Structure 1
Amino acid sequence: MYVLVPAILALMATGAVAHDHDDMSWTEKIKNVVVLVEENRSFDTFAGGLSYSRDIDGLLHTKYCNPANVTVPDSELVCAKAIANNVAPDDPNHGISGVNMEVLGTYHPDEEAVDKSLEKETMMGFVTEQASTYKTVNLTRAAEAINYYAQDHIPVFAAMAENFVLFDRWFAAVPGPTNPNRAYLTSGTSHGHGRNDVSFNIAALPQRSIFQQLSEAGIEWINYQNSTTDPMPSPPTGFNPDALFYNWTLTSGKWKTNIKPIGDFYADAKAGKLPPFTYINPECCSYDSFHPPSPISTGEGFIKGIYEALRGSPQWNETLFILTFDEHGGFGDHVPPPVGVPAGDDLTYTELSPDGKNMTFDFKRVGIRVPTLVISPWVEKGVIEHKGQNHGKEYTHTSIAAFIAKLWGLDNLTPRTAWSSTFEHLITDKFRDDAPATLPDPVSF
């Protein structure tokens, strides 16, 4: 009998043998968490055209239109169509005041009224803001802010969604740009930052992050990054990888040991040497991040490569892979975000709105829906996950830190993290051996 053991072990390593681990807790099944945060696409724009399930709250069964000018009664309607370009011609406004216009139809919402009701969140100002930002009366051009992709435009993401768990009610953490959202995702707050200011590029954020938290608990992590510049050049020339937002990462020396180029990720995955927590930054923002002008097709190629590296890794059987997008990038969505949520701290942010007046934001509203997947041999195939299961809370970027806290017995970083719904209930007792080893190739269109 002993001569069969190597063959059985080989089959298990490739995932070809079904496993039944009813006696294992979910925390024993997941030993490696991998997080990839892409850029600047709303749920409706990117995933609203998915057709494999009628249960998806997208645009195939919802007519979504914006007035040409949300401030003018009876303005001409512009409706979303599945004709979004592979390369977006414009980069829509996704500053906080611009998002106010997109979601609320004004640069200066009455915050108290918004906290009491969803009625003002009409989601009707995307075309208006696009036309204003680019000073155009061309409604075909302005409509690009709400147009979306058909399923055959995104075969890689569609295959991942069909085979694992798609969240159709996962919200960005901040109704604003990239770095405040990435800070909330990795620390539960942006420490009052509402724009991509220089603080992120010089490791100036003082708060405790998941990276510091993991190190304090003796849990290894690596932030793999695909930047075209080295971390911390002097002077800074581009976006830092997210772990290097924080002063602790700089002063502890972890920026030298725990931030590595993306090529090391592929090598470590192949060798089975990924740490318990892997965090991946794409480049920003021209070829694989999905951020305009990154082509959708090259972004698809990037996420295909990450998935296939994980699927072929000896660590696959104990891996949970989270793919999300940092924020909506100014692209439209028809679902109003939750309001009246806990902020990460008591700090506020003020900016000058396009109308020349100051706008102050208290971080008690989350951002717009973004496409999010949870991928693992321990989740069911083709699940559409809606609202969070934990006490009526919601899924948002801080759900990742909250999940990690439960997985490894850590504390919640902030009130926002403590509020966020987690998703351990999606981890089942059945190991799946049918996850695809390869995904479809991207398409150009």
Structure 2
Amino acid sequence: MLFLFTLAAASLAAAGSIQDVEHIVLFMQENRAFDHYFGTMAGIRGFKDPNVQVNNGTPVWYQNVDAALSTKTDSLLPWYLNYLGGTWENATQCMEAGSNGWSPNQAALNHDLNNDWATQNTPWSWAHFTRAELPNHFAIAEGWTVGDMYQQAVITSTNPNRVVWASGTINEPDGGVYIDNNETPGCESPDLNCYPLTWETTAQLYENAGVTWQVYQDTDNFDDNPLAWFQQFQQAPNGSALNKQGMSYIGLESFYKDAAAGTLPQVSYIIGPAELSEHPPYQPKDGAWLQQKIVDTVTSSPLYNNTVLIISYDETGGWGDHVVPYHSPSGTPGEWIQDPYGEAGYVYTGPGFRLPFYIISPWTRGGYVYTGKSDHNSQIKFVEEVFAAKGKNVKTPVMNAWRREFMSDLTLAFDFEHPDYSIPSMPNASYPSTNSKGQWNGYAVCEAKYPTQRPPVPYGQQNVNTALETEEGFKAVRGELSEGRYLTFEMNGYALTDTNGKLTATKATSTHNTASQRFVVYEANSTLPVFTIKSAQSVNSTTATVQNKKSSAPSLAGSFQILDMGNGTGYSVQQVTGKKYLSINKNGAVQLGKAPAGFSIFSVTYNS
């Protein structure tokens, strides 16, 4: 791979490097998809995706609708859950969409056509919220760095995804694939969903390497602690490290106290209570309170200057996403199986659909979008990189080879040389409802007050422009580049510009909203950072060419390797043929040269 650049391999200076990370907090919520939460966000791969997949002339925005669903239309566009207003904004907080199981999600994916969410899951699977319902989620994600290509590890339900989060594998092909929530001793059939699990977890690697760690959970943990599904933890003696740190119920209050006292371990796992997990019918607004509580706890801790908080979700919960999962080629060992349920045929187990994902730390502060292709293995890889820089080997041997090579390690989401310790202003999150015993009951109150939580599906009432309406704005890009956004390339106060079909540079603006300065990248190779670049004004015509007074430069439609050089130094844009680097000099002239130059790239979302 051309982009095997890791900060762990960079200078081992005591400051301004990944070595500065001392504490990692891993907090995983439940069952929401990226489009469902953030499809309308500006500056990300959302409902303005210029690279959206098209099947026989039909973009995947248009999901199949059959007569059993409606005779008014044969397709369903993304739709806003609260389009009718009124009390729906309250009722939809506790609604359920579809199934998160293996079979309905493989059926919705439809062998990468990704067009059967309405017919094979539910029409509500294709619906979404906006900032109005998720003010804290948006504020946290945009206050620091949001990832828009973070995928679930397995195209199925909670347990397998959390098992990958805690170990790096679902045990394929080493002795029985785990793709369901089975917690009954034995196997559902030979080599299928065998329980308990027996392979080594990352927590054990941390323990053996002398890395301190702790699971923080209450007794009401929604059975979301994946370590509890492993035999070695079930059989761990009282008082042992695996028992005390992995199986005890010390409570989230202990996390709050440890953070305030500056006594957090090096790796913390946060397992929230069921009612605050955001798993339908549990309410997003209640989960928002818990997320804000965790963020406030971390950012007010004396340890914050050296802490990374990663907030993720385990799987989509039956909510759909328009991006066809980035996955391995057919036949890749450990990644492809014959559907054991006899329905989907030969399929990949994952990575699956995109999930909400954001990273809170001084090195990710500032409203960035991280575009690297990632899944739950990426969190493991990040922890590995942090401790490798400290001379500790916590590299798991059970992660599948393809995931280890092609899932990002998240390090390029960080600018370790320029930390920003400021804390953004956050909206107030309402304290969740409780009953007379102090138990969370927001979802129950919601269900009692609103017996119908699912709004009517707007069959035959949709307009593509309003259905795909988003917020306007931009985010600076970090990480390995991927498709799905309108981009500006800026350097020395200028931006690459399509001027009547010729590539020039014109003055950049603070809002990055000049239409002629927008470009779209297309992957020339899904495993290498090589792209063709086209003007957004000419994506269906001949692409602009570089104009250079001294030499005839090649067409911008040629392939370019685009690399994030790390730590805020920008992106190099190099010809694959010719090996010269694109740049803009201080006078605004577009040039090709021998030395890499760093472009700032912005992901922009505007209606014009």
- TM-score band by shorter chain is 0.7 to 0.9
Residues 361 and 33 of structure 1, relative CA distance in 2, 3 Å threshold: farther
> Is 1:307–2:298 an aligned residue pair?
no
> Is 1:222–2:214 an aligned residue pair?
yes
Residues 316 and 174 of structure 1, relative CA distance in 2, 3 Å threshold: same
> Is 1:197–2:177 an aligned residue pair?
no
Which runs of structure 2 are paired with 1:55-74 in the superposition (5 Å)?
A: 55-59=43-47, 64-69=61-66
> Is 1:210–2:202 an aligned residue pair?
yes
Residues 23 and 267 of structure 1, relative CA distance in 2, 3 Å threshold: closer
Instruction: Give the TM-score normalised by structure 1.
Output: 0.76
CA distance in 1 between partners of 2:333 and 2:161 (Å): 12
Q: Which has the higher contact order (CA 8 A, sep 6+)?
A: 1
Alignment correspondent of 1:294: 282
1:160 partner SS: helix
Describe the superposition over 1:235-268 as per-residue Cα deviations: whole angstroms up to 9, x where unpaired.
xxx6251222222223343353114322211111
> Is 1:152–2:140 an aligned residue pair?
no
Residues 189 and 251 of structure 1, relative CA distance in 2, 3 Å threshold: same
CA distance in 1 between partners of 2:254 and 2:290 (Å): 15
CA distance in 1 between partners of 2:332 and 2:143 (Å): 34
Unaligned runs of 5+ in 2: 1-11, 51-58, 83-88, 172-176, 187-193, 389-393, 433-445, 447-608
Deviation, structure 1 residue 368: 0.4
Deviation, structure 1 residue 199: 5.3
> Is 1:87–2:93 an aligned residue pair?
yes
Residues 351 and 75 of structure 1, relative CA distance in 2, 3 Å threshold: farther
CA distance in 1 between partners of 2:332 and 2:244 (Å): 32
Deviation, structure 1 residue 361: 6.5
Residues 347 and 214 of structure 1, relative CA distance in 2, 3 Å threshold: farther
**Alpha carbons 1:379, 1:427 under 8 Å: kept:** yes
2:132 partner SS: helix
Residues 346 and 294 of structure 1, relative CA distance in 2, 3 Å threshold: closer
Unaligned runs of 5+ in 1: 1-20, 105-119, 132-141, 230-237, 389-393
CA distance in 2 between partners of 1:87 and 1:249 (Å): 36
Residues 270 and 361 of structure 1, relative CA distance in 2, 3 Å threshold: farther
CA distance in 2 between partners of 1:126 and 1:34 (Å): 34
Structure with bigger strand share is: 2
Choose the corresponding residue for 2:404, options 400, 413, 418. Answer: 418
Alignment correspondent of 1:404: 383
Alignment correspondent of 1:376: 361
1:401 partner SS: helix
> Is 1:242–2:226 an aligned residue pair?
yes
Choose the corresponding residue for 2:116, options 114, 125, 131. Answer: 125
Count of aligned pairs between the two proteins: 376
Whichever residue aligns with residue 40 of structure 1, its letter is N
> Is 1:35–2:26 an aligned residue pair?
yes
CA distance in 2 between partners of 1:344 and 1:298 (Å): 41
Alignment correspondent of 1:261: 251
Q: How many percent identity over aligned positions?
A: 21
CA distance in 1 between partners of 2:419 and 2:261 (Å): 22
Deviation, structure 1 residue 339: 2.5
**Alpha carbons 2:155, 2:349 under 8 Å: kept:** no
Deviation, structure 1 residue 205: 1.0
Find the structure with the greater CA-based Rg: 2
Whichever residue aligns with residue 251 of structure 1, its letter is Q
Residues 411 and 271 of structure 1, relative CA distance in 2, 3 Å threshold: same
Deviation, structure 1 residue 22: 8.4
Deviation, structure 1 residue 295: 0.9
> Is 1:182–2:162 an aligned residue pair?
yes
**Alpha carbons 2:107, 2:344 under 8 Å: kept:** no
Instruction: Give the TM-score normalised by structure 2.
Output: 0.57
> Is 1:47–2:38 an aligned residue pair?
yes
**Alpha carbons 1:33, 1:321 under 8 Å: kept:** yes
Whichever residue aligns with residue 298 of structure 1, its letter is D
CA distance in 2 between partners of 1:256 and 1:437 (Å): 39
